[in-house]
Structure 1
Amino acid sequence: MTVLTIYEQQEIDRTNREGKQPVVFVHGLYLLASSWDNWRQFFEERGYTTLAPGWPDDPETVADGNSNPEVFANKRIKQVTQHYAEAIGQLKKKPVIIGHSFGGLIAQQLADEGLSAVTVAIDPAGFRGVLPVPLAELKSGAPVLSNPANYHRAVSLSFEQFRYGFVNMLEEKEAHELYEKFAVPGSGTPVFQAAAANLNPWTEDKINIKNPTRGPLLLIAGEKDHTVPMTVVKAAYKLQKNNPAETSFREIPNRGHSLTIDHGWREVAEVSLLFIAQHLELSQ
């Protein structure tokens, strides 16, 4: 069991008091929960209540994270998923769950546990059974995977590495701004777990794609993403289509891994909202 912060507990209590449809946001590596601030405002202005827990031990600010990188180390996929499951378990209404990158994988695992009313996974990390490993993905993972000792470390990306993995489709000025505003170290552990998922039958990086309690799922892929290339998301979609619930795929043209935080985030939010609203309406 993981421990929720005082702020996270207060957010859960606020969400339950408001009584609206909750939306839970799950961030990925190298970002904090604050990366969802624009999305939270967008959904709250449209009548939802939102919650964005961090990963276990996440610092409050980017500055704190960069000055104390060791707090990010040794975070396993199962540990992070259980942290979010604990938060969601205290909600009075089953939430919508939206995740990005490793957060997109975790969102799918939470849906697999029957915890999600509707799920949106944006550029989600692959799971066991997703076979393509494009060269761009290998290059994006190289800052972690190039050194086995990084399994137990927190790894910081240089601007050049962040440029390739996240902001390859942006102008230089915006790329630098996003790096300074959002980038924090990330745990090496889940990167190694994902890399070995198809070799390890006991991996934590897995999903029961036929689970009938999963609920509707939308997978979104940035066409030019290097960290989770579109072929990886398409492969996940083909597997998830085996689920009896609705499974949809949407490509966002000319976008990289930063599509949730860059100048075009609203387009992705609107695509997500349309799918969510349609399927919440169908379930009522």
Structure 2
Amino acid sequence: MPRRHATPRRYLMCPPAHFAVTYAINPWMDPTKPVDVPVAVAQWEDLRDRYRALGHTVEELTPRRDLPDMVFAANGATVIDGRVLGARFAHPERTAEAAAHLDWFRAHGWPEVREPLHVNEGEGDFAVTASYVLAGRGFRASPLSHGEAQEFFGRPVIGLDLVDPRFYRLDTALAVLDDRTDDVMYHPAAFSPGSRAVLERLFPHALTVGERDAAALGLNAVSDGRHVLLPQAALGLFAPLRRRGYDPIGMDLSELLKGGGSVKCCTLELRP
């Protein structure tokens, strides 16, 4: 069994004080199902507090009443080597979130902040490994955003085609387990045949995830290299992760799942 080591992380999160499902822009959203905001807040605080208990730093973005999806902070930017590439949302309902995120970064002294030209939804569309930036496309991000990210970050960007509407962004279909060793897990059926072949070539030892755990948004997970925080309903992932030396931690974010997001969607990593 490999020895896994956690490294301290810095995250940006946004409380779900105004979370609601008033429109449907992904298959998980149903405006007829009410959201229990106090429960959503309690679940979110449990995730935030767990990060802090593990030794990580959590910054908080102030929520806005007119932007109910701001809790999904991972969509607001991608941060690599201290450089911030903002988001440009595909749906008008979320457009103003992009500026709110960029304002936060500028106010907190991040020196290189870029407003993108092409549609990308932050770490929803981009996943950072030791060797690559993996980039999803098919339902949200523009393929042109991949070249834009590569030029800005100076890292090779690998485009991956998503084909199942339930896995509408990369962070619902793939998770990075160790960004020092290129260890990842993914749901093969979420990707086109060519993209599956690319993943098999780049990550021959990846953990492949079945339908049931993927449908529980088990891949919407966050890892610090040892601890993997993931939806508690993805029961089939706990034993395989332990066999790889990881410590899986189940989180209940069932209220936020009504908006189509879970652990990763709530968590934007601030990479120095």
TM bucket, shorter chain: 0.3 to 0.5
> Normalising by the residue count of structure 1, what TM-score does the alignment of the two structures yield?
0.31
Which has the larger share of strand? Answer: 2
Question: Which one has the bigger helix percentage?
Answer: 1
